[in-house]
Amino acid sequence: MKNISNILLDRRSIRKYTEKPLANELLNDILLKGCRTSTTGNMQVYSIIITRDAEKKRELAPSHFNQKMITEAPVVLTFCADFNRFSKWCRMRNAEPGYDNFLSFFTAAIDALLLAQTVCIAAEAEGLGICYLGTTTYMAHKIIEVLKLPAGVVPVTTVTIGWPAEKPEQVDRLPLEAVVHNEVYSDYSIRDIDIFYKTKEMRSDNQQFVKENSKDSLAQVFTDVRYKKSDNVLFSRTLLQVLKDQGFMNQ
């Protein structure tokens, strides 16, 4: 097992995996460790869907914009906000649950994301590689269909996991002083922004993104290409409909 401090500082997303299988015993051990993570009120309002079957992974792939690691990774984990199980337990014990609202979804989503991060760290400690996919909330309605998720359950993130077949260059991170505020929030001056984003903007890979997309700045790559307002609005509407359909918008 690797040193946790080194893992956290050296971590990188792995998108290519060897054909070496991931043993059930090791995966279960990783998930067991993950389930010891913090959770709101000790409710554990989350679920994990394990996908190993090749055909099921092919079904999932379009929901993740056909990114290759979905079908190539030995295991795909879908982490879900889940009040279905907890609400059933409440009713069976003559307690009426009141979790059909946005706050409850947000609570369960936090639980699921804390779980997912802990699972990722536990996996990396064993030498495994992981990749987080942000496409889950974009296409939650399709993932719900593929994984047959009942009301009260919403997918919030997906992680591929397997033995690394690559060691890519680490992506950039803002300096610590860009994200840490002491006692109260200290708003950013123009000079602060220039200083904090200079290294990111000067990286050769990011400059290449700007060139490839015929943009004037890296910021324009984000606003005009990668995360456009039109897409954000569309996916927001879709996710809000998912929350309504899954029973989390009664307020």
Q: Which residues contact 230 (CB under 8 A, 6 or more apart)?
A: none
Cα-trace Rg, the chain: 20
**Is the torsion defined by CA of 2, 24, 28, 54 positive or negative?**
positive
Average pLDDT over residues 143-162: 98
Q: Is pLDDT at 132 greater than 80 in this prediction?
A: yes
Mean pLDDT (the chain, rounded): 96
Average pLDDT over residues 105-129: 97
DSSP letter at 74 equals S
Q: Is pLDDT at 172 greater than 70 in this prediction?
A: yes
- Judged by average pLDDT, the poorest of 5-19, 92-106, 142-156, 187-201 is 5-19
Give the residue among 56, 82, 80, 54 at the shortest CA–CA distance from 136.
Answer: 80
CA atoms of 163 and 67, how far apart (whole Å): 18
Paired residues of 75 in beta bridges: 161
Could you give the 3-state DSSP secondary structure of residue 239?
A: helix
Q: What is the DSSP string of 110-173?
A: HHHHHHHHHHHHHHHHTT-EEEEEGGGTTTHHHHHHHHT--TTEEEEEEEEEE-BS--PPPPP-
Measure the CA angle with vertex 42, ends 140 and 27; round to 5°: 60
pLDDT digits over 95-104, tens only?
Answer: 999 999 999 9
User: What is the pLDDT, as a whole number, of residue 1?
Assistant: 66
Q: How many CB atoms lie within 10 A of CB 160?
A: 27
Q: Which residues contact 87 (CB under 8 A, 6 or more apart)?
A: 97, 99, 152
pLDDT digits over 2-57, tens only?
Answer: 678 888 999 999 999 999 999 999 999 999 999 999 999 999 999 999 999 999 99
User: What is the pLDDT, as a whole number, of residue 4?
Assistant: 80
CA atoms of 93 and 141, how far apart (whole Å): 31
